[in-house]
Amino acid sequence: MLTCQRCGIRPATIMHKPSGLRLCSQCFLDYIVERVEKEVKRWNMLKPSETVLLAVSGGKDSFVLLDVMAQIHDPSKQIALSIVEGISGYNREEDIEKMKKYAKERGIDFIRTSFKEFIGASLDELVKRSWEKGVNISPCTYCGTLRRRIMNYYARILGVDKLATAHNLDDEVQTLFLNILRADRMRLIQSHPKAPVLSEKIVRKIKPLRKIYEWETALYSYLKGFRFQETECQYIYLRPTLRAKIREHLYRIEDAEPGTLLRILETMDSLLEKVVDLHSNLPKLPTCKKCGEPTSYNRQLCKVCELLEKIGFY
Ligand SMILES: [Zn+2]
Ligand SMILES: [Zn+2]
């Protein structure tokens, strides 16, 4: 049997196609931690003295975020936040308890909240209301918008320096293409790790796993004995389809040319870095007339208030 090309001792069990390396399980795990740490340092995402809020769901990416961050940053400077959307059959108490246990075992405080607690309605209730009113908005829109609001709100009131999400390489490259296809230059610039923060009310977001493939987070979780949530969200069939199409194409190319996703993100990182530097003096974002949270340029209401108003929730 061939030996691992990193340690030269243990038998290689993993073929890491993007790098061409043959690895043993332990070296694969170390390789992931190293790459996350390198990316965090490269963009100065988190200084050793800084505090961070980790946004976690019950999935594998969240597990990897928690596990790797506990190894590369002082756990006492981290808090994990779990947001229960309120989707029947999907949000399971045991998954939340499991994540809480993982956080505690790693010395990271854990807090939970829910859509119900935050705005007074679960996602199921919002979607029902939306259908009753004949409003054609995808459940994912309510979900994503509210999750972002709640994460930022908690990061702000907890007074942490950074807010970390578990987006992986696949997510990041899909988002790049989505923004290009929609010609959304602002979002394209804002997706860069060095993008300016446009309001005092926004806590800087960091994505430590942005160079880690989704298959790698799955394998990492598996090797560490984490059994992730297998139930799918009941609204998955209502998910916007453009992202799914982009994902399909990207996987086909990655399959034929391993490492493609990494090269795309790296190329865009360096191209966008220059653009970001040119946009360092953007004006601050206006605030929502209703709730006082930041909103996009030329808007009166924020996305959350707009959505809730549309379904007569306010
Ligand atoms: Zn090895
Ligand atoms: Zn608002």
Write out pLDDT tens, residues 212-259. 999 999 999 999 999 876 778 888 888 778 999 999 999 999 999 999
Q: How far is the CA of 197 from the centre of ligand 1 (A)?
A: 41
Residue 86 region, left (φ>0) first, then alpha (ψ -120 to 50), else beta? Answer: left
Report residue 193 as tokens: 């790790």
59 & 158 share domain: yes
Measured from the alpha carbon of residue 294, the closest ligand is 2
Report residue 283 as tokens: 């004006």
How much is the mean pLDDT over the chain? Answer: 95
Q: How far is the CA of 108 from the centre of ligand 1 (A)?
A: 29
The confidence score (pLDDT) of residue 94 equals 85
Angle at CA of residue 295, ends 289 and 296, nearest 5°:
125
Does the pLDDT of residue 125 top 90, yes or no? yes
Q: How far is the CA of 306 from the centre of ligand 2 (A)?
A: 7
121 & 269 share domain: yes
Residue 142 half-sphere exposure toward CB, CA atoms < 13 A: 30
Q: What is the band of 272 on the pLDDT scale with cuts at 50, 70, 90? A: very high
Average pLDDT for 157-173: 98
117 & 173 share domain: yes
124 & 1 share domain: no
The confidence score (pLDDT) of residue 249 equals 97
Distance CA 100, CA 132 (A): 36
121 & 7 share domain: no
What is the span of the domain harbouring residue 139? 43-310
Q: How far is the CA of 287 from the centre of ligand 2 (A)?
A: 8
Helix axes 139-158, 123-132, angle to 10 degrees: 140
Does the pLDDT of residue 154 top 90, yes or no? yes
Q: How far is the CA of 264 from the centre of ligand 1 (A)?
A: 28
* Residue in the block written with tokens 């936040």: 81
* Residue in the block written with tokens 């560490």: 224
Does the pLDDT of residue 91 top 80, yes or no? no
60 & 9 share domain: no
Domain count, the chain: 2
36 & 58 share domain: no
Q: Strands (DSSP E) along 13-74, which ranges?
A: 14-16, 21-23, 52-56
Distance CA 185, CA 297 (A): 13
Q: How far is the CA of 238 from the centre of ligand 2 (A)?
A: 25
Measured from the alpha carbon of residue 306, the closest ligand is 2
Measured from the alpha carbon of residue 307, the closest ligand is 2
54 & 34 share domain: no
